[in-house]
């Protein structure tokens, strides 16, 4: 739980009383590789704070897997749209390795937030971080070519490149696996 507390402190002032109030909303859990945290069609009722390992969100379109996000240690994975609106999720979240998370239950989180404005603020900050990340990756596609997108990930998110395979990354960058291969080749032969 210590990782979560540090994460919270990095986002907002938080006293021991708020931390105590938050406890009922928290459950630690592990997922095996390829195990689903959230399944398409379900309503997302949790935030998943990642202690160890990583997971990804993906759509299945015409039987094909399309990765839309990767989430690593000290980040929160969730379907912000489903979590906020209560509507069914259109995508899945799956563990890519053995994964340890702290599950934050929505209903109990809201109950705690009513008793401590610090918790409400925390919730707002979490969503803000999430929105910022979405914005960053959304703009990748509008501003850059596939090659520039790869270079952006290499310079700005090197840790991700080291843990995610080329095939997985290709889907996330919206190009074919072979394209990333060829971009590498083109660059090395300059």
Partner DNA sequence: TTCATCCTGTGACGATCGTCACAAAAATCA
Partner DNA sequence: TGATTTTTGTGACGATCGTCACAGGATGAA
- Full 3-state SS string of 72-136: CCCCEECCHHHHHHCCECCCEEEECCCEEEEEEEHHHHHHHHHHCHHHHHHHHHHHHHHHHHHHH
User: What are 111's two structure tokens?
Assistant: 């109950």
| Under rule CB under 8 A, residue 43 binds its own copies | no
Binding mask 96-135 for DNA (x = CB under 7 A): ----------------------------------------
CB atoms within 10 A of CB 85: 11
Please identify, using beta-carbon distances, which residue of 52 and 177 lies nearer to DNA: 177
Whats the size of the chain, residue-wise? 190
Q: Angle 5-133-106 (CA atoms, 0-180°, nearest 5)?
A: 50
User: Residue from 41, 158, 185, 190 that binds DNA (CB under 7 A)?
Assistant: 185
User: Residue from 45, 66, 157, 177 that binds DNA (CB under 7 A)?
Assistant: 177
What does 29 bind: its own copies, DNA, none (CB cut-off 5 to 8 Å by kind)?
A: none
Distance, CA of 37 to CA of 78 (rounded, Å): 9
| Under rule CB under 8 A, residue 130 binds its own copies | yes
Please identify, using beta-carbon distances, which residue of 43 and 80 lies nearer to its own copies: 80
Distance, CA of 94 to CA of 103 (rounded, Å): 14
Binding site for its own copies (CB under 8 A): 59, 61, 66-68, 80-81, 84-85, 114, 117, 120-121, 123-125, 127-128, 130-132, 134-139, 141-143, 171-172, 174
Give the footprint of DNA on this chain (CB under 7 A).
Answer: 145-147, 165-168, 174-185
């Amino acid at each position: 739980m210590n990782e979560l507390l540090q994460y919270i402190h990095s986002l907002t002032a938080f006293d021991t009383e708020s931390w105590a109030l938050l406890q009922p909303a928290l459950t630690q859990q592990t997922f095996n590789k390829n195990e689903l945290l959230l399944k398409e069609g379900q309503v997302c009722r949790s935030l998943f704070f990642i202690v160890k390992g990583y997971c990804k969100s993906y759509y299945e379109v015409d039987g094909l897997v399309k990765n839309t996000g990767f989430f690593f240690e000290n980040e929160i994975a969730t379907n912000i749209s489903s979590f906020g609106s209560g509507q069914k999720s259109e995508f899945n979240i799956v563990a890519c390795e053995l994964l340890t998370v702290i599950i934050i239950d929505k209903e109990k989180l809201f109950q705690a937030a009513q008793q401590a404005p610090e918790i409400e603020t925390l919730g707002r900050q979490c969503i803000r971080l999430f929105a910022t990340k979405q914005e960053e990756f959304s703009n990748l596609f509008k501003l850059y070519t596939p090659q520039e997108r790869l270079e952006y990930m290499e310079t700005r998110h090197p840790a991700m490149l080291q843990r995610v395979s080329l095939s997985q990354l290709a889907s996330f960058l919206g190009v074919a696996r072979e394209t990333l291969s060829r971009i590498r080749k083109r660059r090395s032969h300059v």
